[in-house]
A and B are shown apart, each in its own frame.
Chain A
């Protein structure tokens, strides 16, 4: 090799030069090292285990993920822009569709923001606030159930999927009874609620609590100690406290690092400081810890629901201020929820002033003093923040949702890189992103 870097060799095909030495050795060696296993894989946007239209771009070397990136925006619907062309009240109809698994949290966060701008936080009737808490906690249950159910399904455990959706159905039945809809309720309105609880709702909720108390331990029995489940989830999707802080992760992801940060405790809203409940944490920083936290949070939510049911007293569910309160009395007709016939009869038949008032408030809406406000609630996924800006008009000037799914999904790369391809599914499921909330 010292004599020549390209030694000639005579063959039947002619002279063959074998190039060696110098830089070529390195080139040849690295070419041999870069094996054909390293490929870039597009997972999604249409993939059953990416939680909706999430696109994961994975660079994999064999079974190992070397780089992971997210492509989002496939479900962007321009809700924030649309809000600027509707009245403040109509806004709830839009925001409820953002994270479609947590409609009551979106609505309540938005309404808390609007009420802060209006300066009427103290005038919200107790009953309205208690029902908001009640619905939010039931919603937390249903959201966590979907998370556990779909997460299990993505591991191949269809039993947990059946169980989760079975129990979620019970909760959606209650939502349907109360709001008329299973999702996208637009039930929480600036100033209170669209209407009071229908007859029989409290009884059905008590029945539900009883049933859930019986069903929730089943998840424990089936999965908490299940060796396959544990093998798939323990130490997978690892993100420690420093990572959570840097990436702004909140919710179960943050609490799985042992930090008991829960806005319901630290910055109570809707009177959460008066309820008795615990904030579960885990020290493991992994998917299994997040799963355990969700299970425990469901039990705690049931506790809050029970306390709410005990506290319900008859009373108004809308602010007394007639300049803000929606004038229409809603009633369930054969074609769904709408203005009650009695109300129509009154405004069309007997009171011109009531008709004008109804017309003005419904078509024009109420004015909100100029300024900005930030309201945040602890959604099942983390801190759901709403930044609302008013220019003194009847329409929002700007509404921005800080959706926890959006922020937490950034942690996907940190959780997945260096792990196995199969663990990507587990890690993403443990973040529990809902693309409706991520893309808005």
Chain B
């Protein structure tokens, strides 16, 4: 971005058509990423009394979008092998892999949930891929990502080829089902229970999907964004300090 500005400034050749193209505009990390938040105003002044003059600012915050080939490094090799292996099994890669994101030197495959187990098994068993070690699942709740609010994120490590990739699967809040990877990676037993416990993602095919951290009779799923943190105001040196989730948020 700074390069684009510099070249435009140095040459004195101003070309709005070209300069205002998508890749030259700041704050865009690729199109098509999920909108995770809409930022209104600035400086955290979001409950009235805004004198900053930025109150009308509306900015959409997007996660990095899909990458285009070449991905760089060994990413292409893994993507080729995976797509090839899926094709061999009679599965169109485009049907299974929703998109591929390359961001911060990390490769992420967004997988359609109905094909997750097949993709994971391929990643584990194919000699050219051989991701033997799954480091568990991490749930993320994007309440504004309509129709795909709940994400399950898996990090797979290949000890053979010394690589690390990420799989991301999403499910809507209304149908929070994702197939279990227990049959492929038994280590996900507790991890999936944890994600179920905190996010309410139901991992179909898990042998005993019960709560693991919270008490068995707990209501609700604590790490969803709409679940309050709780807490009580505390008095400190004569002042009332509000509970952490009641304090001013600048985000």
Contacts and interface: CB of A to CB of B under 8 A. Distances in A.
Most central of A248, A397, A410 by chain B CB within 10 Å? A248
Contacts of B247: 85
B31 interface: no
Interface in A385-440: 385, 387, 389, 391-395, 397-398, 400, 402, 406-407, 409-410, 439
A393 B250 contact: yes
B155 A261 contact: no
A398 B247 CA distance: 18
**Interface residue tally of chain B, by bracket?**
35 or more
B44 A373 contact: no
A392 B166 CA distance: 21
Most central of A249, A394, A402 by chain B CB within 10 Å? A402
B187 A248 contact: yes
A72 B249 CA distance: 33
A402 B29 contact: no
Contacts of A239: none
A267 B138 contact: no
A359 to B, nearest CB: 12
B8 to A, nearest CB: 23
Given A364-B44, A393-B37, A400 B229 contact: no
A84 B245 CA distance: 9
Contacts of B139: 400
Interface stretch (A3-11, A75-83, A317-325): A75-83
A373 B166 CA distance: 10
Contacts of A371: 29, 63-64, 103-104
Contacts of A372: 63, 103, 106, 108, 140, 153, 166
Interface string B171-209: 000000000000001111111001000100000000000
Contacts of A141: none
A394 B198 CA distance: 23
B224 to A, nearest CB: 10
A407 B192 CA distance: 11
Contacts of B79: none
Given A393-B37, A398-B138, A407-B136, A267 B162 contact: yes
A374 interface: yes
Interface in B1-45: 29, 36-37, 39, 44
Contacts of B135: 248, 376, 383, 385, 402, 407
A387 B162 contact: no
A387 B167 CA distance: 12
A248 B134 contact: yes
Nearest to B224: A81
B128 interface: no
Contacts of B189: 410
A246 B186 contact: yes
Given A72-B213, A119-B104, A391 B251 contact: yes
B127 interface: no
Interface string B212-251: 1111000000110000010000000000000011010111
B159 interface: yes
Contacts of A249: 187
B104 A402 contact: no
A73 B62 contact: no
B244 A385 contact: no
Contacts of B215: 73
A82 B63 contact: no
Contact of B162 (A266, A376, A439): A266
B213 A76 contact: yes
Contacts of A397: 36, 140
Interface string A65-97: 000000011001010111011100000000000
Given A371-B29, A371-B63, 18 more contacts: A73-B214, A80-B223, A85-B229, A86-B244, A261-B159, A369-B29, A370-B61, A370-B64, A371-B103, A372-B140, A372-B153, A374-B164, A385-B135, A392-B61, A392-B251, A395-B250, A397-B140, A398-B138
22 contacts: A72-B213, A73-B213, A81-B222, A85-B245, A86-B244, A116-B104, A117-B104, A245-B133, A267-B164, A372-B103, A372-B166, A374-B155, A383-B135, A385-B136, A391-B61, A394-B250, A395-B250, A398-B223, A400-B139, A402-B135, A402-B138, A407-B135
7 smallest beta-carbon distances between A and B, as pairs: A393-B251, A248-B187, A400-B138, A73-B213, A76-B213, A85-B244, A392-B61
